[in-house]
Amino acid sequence: MMKNKEKIDQVINKFIGKKGSLIPLLQEVQAIDKYLSKDAMRYVSEKAGFNLAQIYGVATFYTMFRLKPQGKHVIRVCKGTACHVSDANSILKAVRSDLHLADGEDTTKDKLFTVVEVACLGCCSLSPVIMIDDNTFGKLTPELIAGILKKYD
């Protein structure tokens, strides 16, 4: 049984017939569950009249689309140039080790956090920077990470 059918229907109705609407449509569908499930993509394909290959093509092209469930909070670790020269790697290491993530994992077992690396958050003057949901934390050192993550539950 497809989850959130009604909510997805609302999104489809909002965009149907409008040109160039596939990306914003998928963005809003993703906002419901925080990821695009196979079922959701199939459903959008049937209801909104997009070819499934086209939907999958768009969903895998843009980094904002996620095909796997994600944690309650998303931690974006900036790997931009300014952060890179300010040792963003040590920040990433600290985040991952504090959350006990094994190699290849990006979401904690309790589904509280998902860690992603991003190209640049545009807060270069405060490098190195991470963003948790919509909040940005700058001028970080590895020692500060545990204290920041502790505040989230």
How far is C-alpha 101 from the chain's CA centre? 17
State how beta strands 135-137 and 130-132 pair.
antiparallel
DSSP helix/strand/coil, 117: strand
* Beta carbons of 91 and 138 less than 8 angstroms apart: no
Encoded one letter per residue, x for contact with other proteins by CB under 8 A and - for no contact, window 112-141 reads: ------xxxxxxxxxx-x----xxxxxx--
Question: What's the CA gap between 24 and 69, in Å, rounded?
Answer: 19
Question: What's the CA gap between 150 and 153, in Å, rounded?
Answer: 8
Q: How far is the CB of 128 from other proteins (least distance, A)?
A: 11
User: Of 90, 101, 144, 148, which one interacts with other proteins (CB under 8 A)?
Assistant: 90
Check binding of 69 to other proteins (CB under 8 A).
no
Check binding of 13 to other proteins (CB under 8 A).
no
Check binding of 45 to other proteins (CB under 8 A).
no
Q: Which is nearer to other proteins, 10 or 63 (CB)?
A: 63
Question: What's the CA gap between 32 and 35, in Å, rounded?
Answer: 8
Q: How far is the CB of 1 from other proteins (least distance, A)?
A: 29
Please report, as ranges, the residues that interact with other proteins according to CB under 8 A: 19-24, 26-27, 54, 57-58, 61-65, 79-82, 84-86, 90, 118-127, 129, 134-139, 142
